[in-house]
Amino acid sequence: MKIALIQQKCTNNRELNRHKGLEAVRKAADQGAKVICFAELSFDPFYPQIIATSDKLKLAEPIPGPTTEMFSGLAQDLDIVIILNLFERDGEHTVAICYDRHYPEYMRALALNGAEIVFVPQAGAVGEWPRGLYEAELQVAAFQNGFFTALCNRVGEESKLTFSGGSFICNPDGKVIVRADEGKDQILLSDVDLNKVKESFAKQLFIPDRRPELYADWLSKIK
């Protein structure tokens, strides 16, 4: 199966950003991508970089809404899956969103529930963390849990932050198999062999050898 990460700069024009995204989806699908993922807050400036105001909060979209209708229609036409991360009203998330990747228990829970690829829409700025930490974190998650990880990062200079790009995909052995350039728009494509999941060290050793009955109480501690 082929997957694609759409790394694209955002302007202040949501409509323009959406149409740019739709064109990127078509290009990725033309190259064989069956699952396509966008970065965090896919078609808007990254609003959390400034203090929220009532005017900004009014821009939040309903789900379903105009953006999801537009992209779900295209996904149906092309027989693909599109993963969006939107500025939404009262939404619920079922993928690892940026900050979620810092919680190993969440990544393990995804593995135990059958995840084969974990997509991470991200808004990582230049100099935000030590260089290489994004990759290391998701390489370890992929290796320990026996799934592919695919981080799609924002890119481009905005009002307060410059987002670095450099999206990447790791295989279940913890190896980065493809990486996008930093600082520019790019469609990152990769073939993923899902047989690698069941053949991984995690699925063969680490997960079967768990002893959750010994530490269940530890994981329930709030502090």
pLDDT in tens, 12-62: 999 999 999 999 999 999 999 999 999 999 899 887 777 767 777 777 888
* pLDDT above 80 for 122: yes
Q: What is the DSSP string of 157-181?
A: E-SS-EEEB--EEE-TTS-EEEEPP
Predicted TM-score (pTM) of the model is: 0.90
* pLDDT above 60 for 92: no
Give the separation between CA 151 and CA 137, rounded to whole angstroms.
11
* pLDDT above 60 for 94: no
Go through the domains of the chain in sequence order and give each one's CATH number: 2-219 (3.60.110.10)
Q: Do 118 and 70 meet the contact criterion of CB atoms below 8 Å apart?
A: no
Provide the CA 136 distance to its chain's centre, in angstroms.
16
Q: How far is CA 44 from CA 18, 21, 22, 55, 118, in A?
A: 9, 11, 14, 14, 23
Which pLDDT score, from 0 to 100, does residue 2 have?
A: 98
**Average pLDDT of the chain to the nearest whole number:** 91
pLDDT bucket at 93, cuts 50 / 70 / 90: very low
Give me the mean pLDDT over the 70-85 stretch: 97
Which pLDDT score, from 0 to 100, does residue 95 have?
A: 60
Q: Which of the 8 DSSP states describes residue 125?
A: B
* pLDDT above 70 for 126: yes
* pLDDT above 90 for 128: no
> Percent of the chain beyond pLDDT 70?
94
Give me the mean pLDDT over the 150-158 stretch: 95
pLDDT bucket at 87, cuts 50 / 70 / 90: confident
Residues 6+ apart with CB under 8 A from 26: 74, 78
In terms of phi and psi (left: phi > 0; alpha: psi -120 to 50; beta: otherwise), the region of 114 is left
pLDDT bucket at 90, cuts 50 / 70 / 90: low
Which pLDDT score, from 0 to 100, does residue 15 have?
A: 95
* pLDDT above 70 for 96: no
Q: How far is CA 86 from CA 120, 121, 147, 167, in A?
A: 13, 10, 25, 18
Regarding predicted confidence, which is higher, 134 or 16?
16
